[in-house]
Every structure is written in structure tokens, then in C-alpha cells.
Amino acid sequence: MSFYDVLEVAMQRKGMKPQDVCEAAGLHASYISKLKSRHTKSVTWEKAIAIIHALGMTPSEFYELQLQCEQDDKAAQS
């Protein structure tokens, strides 16, 4: 599961749009779109933390969401 996949779930749960997250994180408005389309191959630690904090989450909470999403994917495949 990619960073973007977990980010998308987090945005849905928080009711935030990509533009809202980018603005709160101090990133260019198109950054999340680039992540989605895979034009940005990786996320730097600094940008990841800024995005996670913009969502009102801690890195630990984001990681827990990632684990939950991975478990949900495995259960759906069974």
C-alpha cells in the first residue's frame, strides 16, 4: 500500500480535499495530484510529516491507519 493510498483514506475520513491538505502542509496545490498519478516517485520525510500533520494526525496514527488498510485489503482478498 502506497503513501498515497493511505493518504486518500485519511482524507476521506477527515473530510478533506487534496487542496486543503496541500495548503495546510505548505505544499504546492498540485503535489497530491502528482502523488496520485505517480509523477512524484517518493515522498520526502519532511513532506510526509507536513501532510500527516495537516491531516491532524501523528505519524503513529498514520502508520496505524496504513496497517488497518492493509488488513482490510487482505480480508477483502480472502
Vertex 67: Cα angle to 78 and 39 (nearest 5): 100
CA distances from 43 to 40, 52, 59, 77 (A): 7, 12, 14, 28
Tell me, what's the pLDDT at 21?
A: 96
Tell me, what's the pLDDT at 35?
A: 86
Tell me, what's the pLDDT at 61?
A: 97
**What CATH architecture does domain 3-77 belong to?**
Orthogonal Bundle (1.10)
Vertex 67: Cα angle to 9 and 39 (nearest 5): 50
Q: With beta carbons less than 8 A apart as the criterion, state whether 77 and 8 touch.
A: no
Residue count (the chain): 78
Extract the residue ranges of the chain whose pLDDT is less than 70. Answer: none
Tell me, what's the pLDDT at 15?
A: 96
Tell me, what's the pLDDT at 34?
A: 87
Q: For the chain, what are the domain ranges?
A: 3-77
